[in-house]
Amino acid sequence: MKVTVALLAALLATAASTSAQAQSPVEGSRRLVTTEYRWVGKLGFNGGFACAAWILQHGLAVTARHCFTHKGMSQADAARNLKALSLTFGTNDGLMTFGAPDITGIQFDSAPNDIVFVRYNADKTKGKVEFNHKIVLTPAPAGLPLFVVGFPAPGLRRTIAEGCRATGVIGTFPPKPRDIGYEGPLEETTCGAWYGVSGGAVFAIDNSGPKPVTLLYGVLAHTFAVKEDGSIDQSKVKNDELGPQSSGVFSPLRASRDLMSLVPKSLLH
C-alpha cells in the first residue's frame, strides 16, 4: 500500500515539533544517542565492528552489502566465514551478542542493490527485542519525515537522525572501483549520517493507530554528496556534537528481488 495523502499529513504533523527543535546543519536533521529502537544493532566481523544491522523479523536481520564487498567478500566468502560474524542487539537486560551456530546463513539480494539478509536463530531475540514493523515497497514521497538509526563505532552507542525528510530524489551512485556494493536505485534523505551507520534502518513512524508502527523503507548506504569519482565532497560535510555527517541515501527494500520469499505478506504495509 502506498503512503496516502492523509497518512503523509499525519506523519508530517507528528514530526513538526521535532523538526522545529533541530539544531544540526544537515537540512534540519538532528542526531542523538538513543536507547530506543533496540531492534537496530550491529554486525561484527572477527571481533571488530563491521556495520549496523537490524531485525526485519525474528530470525532475519538486514545489513548493507558494501559492508562485505568493501572487505573483498562475496556471498560465498561470507557464507564460508559465518563463524567470524556476530550480531548485537539491545534487550531489557542490556546488549546481547551472539554468533555461530546461532547465525545460520547469509544471503546477498540477487537484484542490484545494497541489501544483505542475515539468518539467525529466532529464539535469540523472541521475547527479548520488541518491534512493530511494516515494509513499504513504494518510493518515499518527498517531504516524508524519516528516521535513520544505526550503531556506529567506536563505542556502544545507538544513534538516531531525526527531524529529517525524504527529498524525493532517486539516483545512482558513481562508485569508485573499491566501492562495490552501491548498485541499483538509491533514495535521498536529509538525514545526517556517517561511516558506521551504513546498514542502518531508514524508516517512518505511523502514529495513527493504537500502537506506533515502524514503516521500513530501506538500508542506509552512502550519500549523494560525492564528486564524479565517487569520493565524498568534503565541502558538503557538516559537523555536530557526534562528529562529521553528510546527507544519507538508502537502498530501498522495494529494490529487493528476494524479500518476498523471506517474509510473510502480512508484513507489507
What is the rounded CA–CA span in Å between residue 245 and residue 235? 11
Peptide bond into 141 cis (omega under 30): no
pLDDT of 60 > 90? The answer is yes
- Distance of alpha carbon 15 from alpha carbon 17, whole angstroms: 6
pLDDT of res. 100: 94
With CA atoms as reference, report the closest residue to 140 among 182, 189, 185: 189
Q: What pLDDT was estimated at residue 156? A: 64
pLDDT confidence of residue 72: 87
Q: Could you tell me which residues come within 8 angstroms of residue 104 by beta carbon, excluding any fewer than 6 positions away? A: 82, 119, 120, 121
List, for residues 141-199, the tens digit of each pLDDT value. Answer: 999 999 999 987 656 688 999 999 999 999 987 766 556 678 899 999 999 988 888 99
Least confident of 28-42, 91-105, 165-179, 182-196: 165-179
SS3 category, 236: helix
The mean of the pLDDT values for the chain is: 86
255: left (phi over 0), alpha (psi -120 to 50) or beta: alpha
Which pLDDT band holds residue 17 (cuts at 50, 70, 90)?
very low
- State residue 104's pLDDT score: 97
| Averaged pLDDT for residues 260-266 | 95
* Mean pLDDT of the region 65-76: 90
Domains of the chain: 5-35+132-167+181-255 (2.40.10.10), 40-130 (2.40.10.10)
C-alpha cell at 47: 571481533
Quick: pLDDT tens for 221-234.
988 888 877 778 88
Instruction: Note the pLDDT of residue 234.
Output: 86
118, 104 Cβ separation under 8 angstroms: no
CA-wise closest residue to 240 among 194, 180, 199: 194
pLDDT at 7 over 50: no
Q: Compare 203 and 229 and report the one with higher pLDDT.
A: 203
pLDDT in tens, 243-260: 888 889 999 999 999 999
Q: What is the pLDDT of residue 6?
A: 41
